Every structure is written in C-alpha cells, then in structure tokens.
Amino acid sequence: MKEYKGKIRLIIKHYPYRYRDYARIAAEASLAARDQGKFWEMHDLMLERSPRLDRESLISYARELGLDMKKFTASIDGKKNDKEIERDLQLALKMDLYNTPTFFINGRKVVGNRPYESFKRILDEELARAGK
Amino acid sequence: MSKGLIIALLLLSSLAFSAEPRYDVPIGDSPSMGPENAPITIIEFIDFQ
Amino acid sequence: MKRRLFTISGFMLFAAVMVAFPAFAGHLEPFREMPIPKENPQTPEKVELGKMLFFDRRLSGDGTMSCVTCHDPEQAFTDGLAISLSYPTTRNWRNSPTLINAGLWQFLFQDGRVRTLEDQALFPMMSAFEMNQNLDFMEEEIRAVPEYAKAFQNAFGGEATRERVAMALAAFQRTLMSVNPPLDRYLSGDKKALSKEAEKGLEIFRGKGKCVECHDGVLLSDQMFHALNVPENPELLDDPRVIATARFVAKLYHFEEYRTLNEDPGRYLITKDKKDWKAFRTPTLREVSRTAPYMHNGIFTTLDEVIEFFDQGGGKGNKSLKPLKLTAAEKKQLKTFLVEALTGEVMTVKMPSIP
C-alpha cells in the first residue's frame, strides 16, 4: 500500500465475531492503545501475532509498545470502550456484513482478504475517477 | 462517426460505474490514518482474531 | 467442428446425449421452471433454513468463511476474483462459478465431479483449501444451537445431519435464478425484447460465431467438457500454495503422478479419459455480464478478451475450436447480445439473522 501514500485515508471499525473468544478483548486492547496514542502500533502488532490474543498476550504487547500498563489493564478489564465497539458491531449487523474483513473503498464494498492486485485495480479506478 | 462511438462508450462506462452500489458508511470518531481530504477513503471492518 | 473432439466412443456418448435431449442440442431454450427432485421437495421452511446455513460462518473450520464468501449475492453469486477465495493461508486454483440457475446443472463443479446440488454442498465444506470443516464436528455445532434444532425439526421433522444440511442448502440454491432476462422474452415470441444490435449478436451467436454449438439449451451450456487450452494464469504458477492445492486434489482422485503435478488437469482427474485432459465444463452464459473474470482460472477480465480468444480459435494446440474471423462490428454485436439479452433483473437476497 506504500505506493498510495498520502492518497488513502484508512478508518477502522470493529466487527468482532461473537464466537471467537478473543475478538472482543482484542478490540478493547486496540482502543485502550488508541487512548494512549498508539492505536496503529497495536493494530499492526495484533495482526502480526493473531490468533495469540488472550489477555496475557495483549498485556505483553502493550508492554512491548511502552504503554502505561496500569491504565491499559484497567481499560481492557473494565471494558472502557465497550460502547464504541458495540456501536460499530451494530452498524455492521445493520449493514448485513457477514464477513471480516469487509472494506468500503469510497463506498464500494469489498469482502475478504484479497490478493493485492485485486485491491490495486479498485484503488487505481478510484484514483482515476477522482482525477477527473 | 468515431466521435459518436467514443461518446457512447463513455456513457456506457459511466453507466457501469453508477450501476455499482456505493454504501454510505458513517465515519464518526473511529480510528483513522491518512489525510482527511485523501481521494480514497477506506473503511475497514476488522476482527483481529 | 465440435465433433472433432471426440473419439468413436466419445461420439457415441454425444449421440446418446442427443437422443436424451433432442430439443436442446444446438438450440436455445427459454427458462420455464426450476426442476425439483422428488427426494428433496421445496418447502418455505427448508429454503429459509438453507439460506441461514448459506450465510453461517460455522460451516467453515475457523469460522472465517461461509458459502457467501465465494458466492456473494451482490456479485451475482461469485466473488468477483480470478481465483476464488480460500481458507486462510491456502490458495484456491479455480474461479468461483455463479450459483444463478445452479439447479439446472446436471454436472456440478468445473470438472463435473457430482450430479446434484445435494451431493455438491458438502465438498467445499470438507475441502482443505476452501472451508476446511470437519463434517462430524459441523453436525454437532449445528445441533447445539437451539434455533437450528427448531429449524431442522420444522423443515425435516428431525435433527440436523450433514445430509439435511446439504438438502437445505440445495433447496435454497434452487430459488436462485436469472429473473426475466430479455432472451427469455424473445425466445417466447416477444421479438421486441432485443435491440437490433443484440438481435444481430444473436445471429452471430447461432451462426458465424458457432457459440450455440456448445452454449445451448436453457443454461446456454451443453453440460459437457471441452479442452480449449485456455492460457495458464500466471498468478498460479510457482505459488507453492497453489501447487499444494493441485497435488492435494490430484491425490484424492488417485492421479498417480500427483507429486510432480504443476497444472490443472480438469475433468481428467475424474474420468482418467485422455480426451478430458484439461477439459472443463462449458459455463452457463446467463448473467455473464455480472460474472467476470472468465474461464476456469479467471484469466480473462472482460468479455472482449473472451470473444477475442474464441475468434482466434482458442488456445494453443486445442482441437475443439477454429478461428472465426469475426469483424470488429460482429464482435461488438455479439457482446451486446451477451450483455443485453442475458442480464435479468437483480435478485436481492437479504442476509437472515444467524443464531
């Protein structure tokens, strides 16, 4: 995605699948890190280490990123950002999303982890369209 | 003649574009990166597990 | 020209098929109704249950995929990719076919390995590179959900079994069809249903283009298998994950040299008949404008490329096709026919609530 630097704005919404034990706590962890200004670092680290996303692992990732551990632990244990996750989840259900990841690229729905070329085609089409 | 054809083709391709549904997803205060006025906005629904 | 394909025994088979479906060979037929097997009658409860299962991620091993992953209602029941999506960390090797009018097929899958939707449904669930689910486990997962227990009771008068899961999925798929495309109205006598340009395209389809020799009947498919020597998809060559997929499938079908296989032998794996080497099922052309990319490996992105391929006489060394020498205008008319005549109303399938 490097070649599109400066041309893409990426927004993350949470859609934890309810039958995955750590999906929800991982979402909490990402927002706990966000509250300390390290959302994307946590995001990258969790995707890299997935599916090791149990509470202890998440705490060790937070330590790795140098977060304030007391605040982080309190945040995930107290489900501080639960409302925000629930809001995203309800939105996903309302939009009939049935799979993760689901992307909306300038509103165009793209489902699933696809080969880079498949994204590239859409991104190039959208850039061409915006350039008009 | 060829000019007419080109216009017809352009019309067709814009039709193809408009035929594809575009969803309006509220952004709100969700985590984001990249410039706010970027030509492409990607909203990703994610499950980390 | 098509006949060149066959050896004597192949020709006899062809003749037998001609006797079985005398009305279809070389002719287009309008869609009239979906045949329903008497072993699996349609009921609203069964169709609704099938729809739930179709969207349920429980059917895959790690809960990432459902049938919809590769057969998305918003993409004409395909996934819009050259090569179909696959189980995480694996790679598929073929294009995901549309499910529109799936109930009309007498051979399912691009290699035609099964004959009914009921027999087809469990394959992708079991396949290591598709949904990778264990069927014994899947049965227990479904049985453990009270909403499903009730739904199976209502639909079948009994508990969930893999056979009933397949029957419900098949029943749901028999509701998917191309809705009222212009070709059906035209074939039923409404000569105004097609534009002049599309009508000319139809003439080429039946005549100079020889398309109807294989794309006939209701599905616009002869439901047979032809080796056209479609170019290899470079996306697939040299990817160890794809090689693993090819060898895994070949191993399941007792292909002796599976350990050195680096390509897709198509129908040959099923029949072990030399004429089926790299032969694939003739695809339906209904809704074809919505089901790109094309061919068994998704090598062509547009219908123009497909028409060009056939105009050139197919792939290197194939014995089924000859160059057509269509003019630019004729190619355009043919494409207009394919897009205009075969595209029906958009069928919306709303996601049910999944317990």
Q: Which residue of A99, A110, A120 to mutate against C (max C Cβ within 10 Å)?
A: A99
Tell me what pLDDT residue C347 has. Answer: 86
Compute the radius of gyration of chain C from its Cα atoms.
Answer: 21
* DSSP assignments along C158-188, one per residue: S---HHHHHHHHHHHHTT---BS-HHHHHHT
- C217 contacts C29 by C-beta, under 8 angstroms: yes
In CATH terms, the fold of domain C2-30+184-229+278-341 is: Cytochrome Bc1 Complex; Chain D, domain 2 (1.10.760)
Residue C36 has pLDDT above 90, yes or no: yes
Tell me what pLDDT residue C72 has. Answer: 94
Tell me what pLDDT residue C24 has. Answer: 61
- C215 contacts C221 by C-beta, under 8 angstroms: yes
CB of C81 within 8 Å of a chain A CB? The answer is yes
What average pLDDT does this structure show over C224-247?
Answer: 92
What average pLDDT does this structure show over A35-55?
Answer: 95
Angle, CA C71 vertex, CA C66 and CA C72 arms, to 5°: 95
Q: Between helices A69-77 and A55-64, what is the axis angle to 10°?
A: 150
Report the residue from A19, A20, A96 with minimal CB separation from C350. Answer: A96
Where do the structural domains in chain C lie, given as residue ranges? 2-30+184-229+278-341, 44-173
* DSSP assignments along C255-288, one per residue: -TTGGG--S--BTHHHH--GGGTTBEEPPP-TTG
Residues C121, C118: Cα–Cα separation, whole Å: 6
Q: How far is A41 from chain C (nearest CA, A)?
A: 23
Q: How far is B19 from chain A (nearest CA, A)?
A: 11
- Give CA torsion, residues C217, C221, C223, C226, to 10 deg: 140
| Contact between chains at C63 and A19 (C-beta distance less than 8 A) | yes
Which chain B residues are Cβ-neighbours of A126 within 8 angstroms? 39-40
| Contact between chains at A8 and B42 (C-beta distance less than 8 A) | yes
Q: What is the pLDDT of residues C186-214, one digit of tens each?
A: 999 999 999 999 999 999 999 999 999 99
Q: What is the pLDDT of residues C154-186, one digit of tens each?
A: 999 999 999 999 999 999 999 999 999 999 999
Residue C17 has pLDDT above 60, yes or no: no
| Contact between chains at C88 and A98 (C-beta distance less than 8 A) | no
Tell me what pLDDT residue C328 has. Answer: 98
What average pLDDT does this structure show over C270-286?
Answer: 97
Q: What is the pLDDT of residues A62-116, one digit of tens each?
A: 999 999 999 999 999 999 999 999 999 999 999 999 889 999 999 999 998 888 8
Residue C148's contacts (CB-CB under 8 Å, 6 or more residues apart) are C49, C52, C142, C160, C355
Categorise residue A105: left if φ over 0, alpha if ψ from -120 to 50, beta otherwise. Answer: beta
Banded model confidence at residue A131, pLDDT cuts 50, 70, 90? confident
Shortest CA distance from C141: residue in chain A: A19
The interface predicted TM-score of the complex, written ipTM, equals 0.93
In CATH terms, the fold of domain A2-96 is: Glutaredoxin (3.40.30)
Task: Choose the weakest-confidence range: A106-115, C9-18, C74-83, C104-113.
Answer: C9-18
Q: What share of chain B is helix, strand, coil (3-state, %, to 5)?
A: 35, 20, 45
Q: Does this chain's domain C2-30+184-229+278-341 share its CATH topology with C44-173?
A: yes
What average pLDDT does this structure show over C24-51?
Answer: 95
Against chain A, the chains showing at least 3 CB pairs within 8 Å are B, C
Q: Residue B15: which domain range?
A: 1-49
CB of B41 within 8 Å of a chain A CB? The answer is yes
Tell me what pLDDT residue A114 has. Answer: 87
Tell me what pLDDT residue A117 has. Answer: 84
Residues C35, C119: Cα–Cα separation, whole Å: 16
Residue C130 is given by DSSP the state T
Tokens for C73, please give them.
């209602």
Report the residue from C58, C66, C235 with minimal CB separation from A98. Answer: C66
What is the count of residue pairs from A and B with beta carbons less than 8 Å apart? 138
Residues C12, A20: Cα–Cα separation, whole Å: 55
Residue B36 has pLDDT above 50, yes or no: yes
Q: How far is C26 from chain A (nearest CA, A)?
A: 37
- Give CA torsion, residues C300, C291, C126, C44, to 10 deg: -170
| Contact between chains at A9 and B32 (C-beta distance less than 8 A) | yes
CB of A25 within 8 Å of a chain B CB? The answer is no
Instruction: Give the whole-number percent of chain C exceeding pLDDT 70.
Output: 93
Q: What is the pLDDT of residues C94-144, one digit of tens each?
A: 999 999 999 999 999 999 999 999 999 999 999 999 999 999 999 999 999
Tell me what pLDDT residue C348 has. Answer: 87
- B39 contacts A123 by C-beta, under 8 angstroms: no
Against chain B, the chains showing at least 3 CB pairs within 8 Å are A
Sign of CA dihedral A105, A110, A111, A117: negative
- Beta strand A108-111 pairing with B32-33: unpaired
CB of C235 within 8 Å of a chain A CB? The answer is yes
Q: How many domains does chain B have?
A: 1
| Contact between chains at C88 and A113 (C-beta distance less than 8 A) | yes
Which chain A residues are Cβ-neighbours of C69 within 8 angstroms? 99, 111-112
What average pLDDT does this structure show over A108-127?
Answer: 91
Report the residue from C58, C63, C72 with minimal CB separation from A111. Answer: C72
Instruction: Give the whole-number percent of chain B exceeding pLDDT 90.
Output: 55
- A51 contacts A99 by C-beta, under 8 angstroms: no
Which chain C residues are Cβ-neighbours of A20 within 8 angstroms? 63
Banded model confidence at residue B32, pLDDT cuts 50, 70, 90? very high
Task: Name the pTM for this structure.
Answer: 0.84
Tell me what pLDDT residue A115 has. Answer: 83
What average pLDDT does this structure show over B17-42?
Answer: 88
Tell me what pLDDT residue C142 has. Answer: 97
Banded model confidence at residue B19, pLDDT cuts 50, 70, 90? low
Residues 313-342 on C with a CB inside 8 Å of A are none
Q: Which regions of chain C does DSSP assign to beta strands (E)?
A: 225-226, 280-281
Helices (H) and strands (E) in chain A, counts: 6, 3
Tell me what pLDDT residue A108 has. Answer: 95
**C44-173 in CATH: which number?**
1.10.760.10
Which chain B residues are Cβ-neighbours of A104 within 8 angstroms? 23, 25, 41-44
Angle, CA C336 vertex, CA C334 and CA C337 arms, to 5°: 65
- C64 contacts A99 by C-beta, under 8 angstroms: yes
CB of A52 within 8 Å of a chain B CB? The answer is no
Which chain C residues are Cβ-neighbours of A114 within 8 angstroms? 81, 85
Q: How far is A1 from chain C (nearest CA, A)?
A: 19
Which chain C residues are Cβ-neighbours of A113 within 8 angstroms? 85, 88
Residues C35, C45: Cα–Cα separation, whole Å: 19
Instruction: Using an 8 Å CB-CB cutoff, list residues of chain A that contact chain C.
Output: 17, 19-20, 96, 98-100, 109, 111-115, 117-118
Backbone angles phi, psi at C186, to 5 degrees: -65, -45
Report the residue from B24, B38, B45 with minimal CB separation from A7. Answer: B38
What distances in angstroms separate CA C11 from CA C2, C110, C282, one per listed residue? 10, 21, 17
| Contact between chains at A113 and C65 (C-beta distance less than 8 A) | no
Tell me what pLDDT residue B14 has. Answer: 41
Banded model confidence at residue A132, pLDDT cuts 50, 70, 90? low
Where do the CATH 3.40.30.10 domains begin and end in chain A?
A: 2-96
- C291 contacts C120 by C-beta, under 8 angstroms: no
Tell me what pLDDT residue C54 has. Answer: 98
Residues C11, C258: Cα–Cα separation, whole Å: 30
